[in-house]
Amino acid sequence: MYNLIKDDIISFDKLLIDKYNILGIDETDTIILIRLNDLIKRGERSLSLEKIAPTMKIKEEELGKRIVNLVTKGFITLELSSVDAKEIFSLDETYRRLTYLLEAEDELRKDDLVNQKIKATVLLLEKELKKTLSPLELEMVNRWYLEGNYTESEVEEAILKALKYKNRGVAFIDRSLASTKKQAEKPLPEGENIQELFKKVYVKSK
């Protein structure tokens, strides 16, 4: 994600305009960072007020104060060039902060998706079992997605299996899921590979 922002594959300008208030900066600081990022894209790493000032509505003195403030807040990093020892600037910390925001949003979306799956499963069970699930049963359903990492299709298959055999308990479904997972993780007998196992099954079926 960081490299996508730094390389402008994810638009830095658009992202910063969208997130500047969360970062705790105002519109003017946002434009300054966008102008500095434009310099970086052109291969210019020297921090020059003269190159930025004509594109800003604020005076050069105010621009200088704001850049110092952005350096203090960590949005701009100043360092010495390894080529000629001149002072150059970097927006790496700004890229990182935007990355953290996007990653946090991704996690929230994942949490929302899991919660939706849990809610849908509870509604399905209560409909099919014709009862309200107990706290223990609700805990089991939560565990399927939060700890067991079962997919929706695996859970639905286990529910259908329970209904088919008329064993309509959530505990049965829980055991069925655990058993299926354990079976899937069971290693092949020592010294036996998939091809050998296939041959055995194929020969027996003939």
- 4-34 confidence digits (pLDDT tens): 999 999 999 999 999 999 999 999 999 999 9
pLDDT of residue 186: 58
Tell me the average pLDDT of the chain: 85
d(CA 40, CA 75): 14
* 81 in Cβ contact with 39 (< 8 Å): no
pTM: predicted TM-score of the whole model, two decimal places: 0.66
What percent of the chain shows pLDDT beyond 70? 86
pLDDT over 60 at 197, yes or no: no
User: Mean pLDDT highest for which of 85-89, 122-126, 146-150?
Assistant: 122-126
Residue type, 157: E
DSSP 111-161: HHHHHHHHHHHHHHHHHHHTSPPPHHHHHHHHHHHHTS---HHHHHHHHHH
How far apart are alpha carbons 126 and 123 in whole angstroms?
5
Which pLDDT value is given to residue 201? Answer: 53
Mark out the alpha helices in the chain (DSSP H runs).
2-6, 12-23, 27-41, 49-52, 60-72, 92-129, 135-146, 152-164, 170-185, 194-205
Domains (range + CATH), the chain: 2-97 (1.10.10.10), 108-186 (1.10.10)
Q: Quote the DSSP letter at residue 89.
A: E
